[in-house]
Amino acid sequence: MAGNLVQGAVFTVMVVRAGMLRDPAFESELAEQIRRSPRFFLNAPVVLDLKDAAEFIHEAEFAEAREVLRRHTLSLIGVQNAAPAQLAAAASAGLASFAPNAPQPNRRPPREATSNAVAMPAAATKTRLVTQPVRSGTQIYARGADLVVTAAVSPGAEIIADGNIHVYGPLRGRALAGAGGDVDARIFCSRLEAELVSIAGRYLVSEQLPPEQQGFPVQIALVDERLTVTRN
């Protein structure tokens, strides 16, 4: 039974470098970013990266950081790269400690590291699958995942994914892949008739899409910062 008490899951969490909080322009830039996609940032979890920020050692500073982010609808949930003293202060501010970004996330952590932690199965992020037509006025967001649609996406519909987007049908609405900033994300569709396509914030509207690709199965990728459409 005990094994069922804790389940593992993998989440995408935004990381804010602690040093950035000291930048006077930080708040206005953050506000601008959030204004562009408020839904994406609403109550989104944030981890504070303490690398090169040894000056963060008081509990009050962590509480203040939490307040700043709260003002922008973000929720500070923990820290990473914390020195032992920082860890204690962060813990008393109610923040969790996250492991630093692993260079090879697929490799299992060494046995010693897990000995005093609960062993969590490494759950793969599940692809979001949509089998019904996505109708005008509907928005679907695959947070931290790929999105696969096996039906048509109507004009006036919006599909968004932090990962790749696959549409096995005509794509007539808007498709935004790599919404979390992943420049390697791609959009695949069996018929390009989109109103707008976007990867990691770079976008093309219908008029800008190459007319010779309209109506064909294509994939869209970011190459040298430019959105390129190639026939599949």
State which of residues 45, 133, 201, 210 lies at the interface with other proteins (CB under 8 A).
133
Q: State the pairing for strand pair 14-17/139-142.
A: unpaired
Closest to other proteins by CB, 97 vs 138, is 138
Output the smallest distance, CB 134 to other proteins, in A: 8
- Rounded to an integer, what distance in angstroms lies between the CA atom of residue 25 and that of residue 183? 25
Q: Do residues 174 and 157 touch, judged by C-beta distance below 8 A? A: yes
Output the smallest distance, CB 170 to other proteins, in A: 8
Q: Does 97 bind other proteins (CB under 8 A)?
A: no
Binding to other proteins in span 149-178, by CB under 8 A: 151-152, 154-157, 172
- Rounded to an integer, what distance in angstroms lies between the CA atom of residue 67 and that of residue 76? 9
Output the smallest distance, CB 19 to other proteins, in A: 44
Closest to other proteins by CB, 94 vs 215, is 215
Output the smallest distance, CB 216 to other proteins, in A: 16
- Rounded to an integer, what distance in angstroms lies between the CA atom of residue 4 and that of residue 114? 18
Output the smallest distance, CB 208 to other proteins, in A: 21
Output the smallest distance, CB 155 to other proteins, in A: 6
Residues linked to residue 161 through DSSP beta bridges, in sequence order = 142
Q: Does 132 bind other proteins (CB under 8 A)?
A: yes
Per CB under 8 A, which region of 23-31, 94-102, 128-136, 205-213 contacts other proteins? 128-136
The structure tokens 């390009």 sit at: 192
The conformation of residue 26, written as its DSSP 8-state character, comes to H
- Rounded to an integer, what distance in angstroms lies between the CA atom of residue 196 and that of residue 187? 11
- Rounded to an integer, what distance in angstroms lies between the CA atom of residue 90 and that of residue 122? 26
- Rounded to an integer, what distance in angstroms lies between the CA atom of residue 149 and that of residue 193? 15
Q: Do residues 199 and 222 touch, judged by C-beta distance below 8 A? A: yes
State which of residues 17, 51, 72, 135 lies at the interface with other proteins (CB under 8 A).
135
Q: Does 75 bind other proteins (CB under 8 A)?
A: no
Interaction site with other proteins (CB under 8 A): 132-133, 135-138, 151-152, 154-157, 172
